[in-house]
Amino acid sequence: MEIGSDSYKAMLSIMASKLSYENQDFVKSVLHDHWKMDFLGFYSCWNGYQKLKSTEAIVLQDTNTDPNLIVVSFRGTDPFDADDWCTDFDLSWYELKNVGRIHGGFMKALGLQKDGWPKEINLDQTQNGPQYCYYTIRQHLRNILDKNPTSRFILSGHSLGGALAILFTGLLAMHEEEKMLKSLEGVYTFGQPRVGDDQFGTFMKNVLKKYDVKYERYVYCNDMVPRLPFDDKTLLFKHFGPCLYFDSFYRGKVDEEEPNKNYFNLFWAIPKVLNALWELTRSFILPHWKGPEYREGWFFRCFRVIGLVIPGLPAHFPNDYINVTRLGGSPLQFHESPRSTLHED
Minimal CA–CA distance to 107: which of 170, 158, 159? 170
- On the question of a cis peptide bond just before residue 229, with omega within 30 degrees of 0, the verdict is yes
Examine the residue annotation and report whether 159 is marked as an active-site residue of this protein.
yes
Following CA atoms 30, 36, 41, 45 in sequence, which dihedral angle do they give, to the nearest 10 degrees? -30
Q: Report the Cα–Cα distance between both ends of the chain, in Å, rounded.
A: 7
Examine the residue annotation and report whether 44 is marked as an active-site residue of this protein.
no
Among 62, 84, 88, 223, the one annotated catalytic: 223
Query: How far apart, in whole angstroms, are the C-alpha atoms of residue 142 and residue 147?
Result: 9
Examine the residue annotation and report whether 103 is marked as an active-site residue of this protein.
no
The C-alpha angle with vertex 158 and arms to 27 and 95, in degrees rounded to 5, equals: 120
Alpha helices (H) along the chain = 6-19, 24-29, 82-89, 104-110, 133-147, 160-174, 178-183, 198-210, 269-290, 298-306, 318-327
Minimal CA–CA distance to 186: which of 6, 33, 318? 6
Among 13, 54, 156, 159, the one annotated catalytic: 159
Number of other CB atoms surrounding residue 207 within 10 Å: 18
Contact predicate 126/41, CB 8 Å: no
- φ, ψ of residue 126 in degrees (nearest 5): -70, 165
Contact predicate 21/75, CB 8 Å: yes
Among 103, 158, 239, 316, the one annotated catalytic: 316
Catalytic site positions: 159, 223, 316
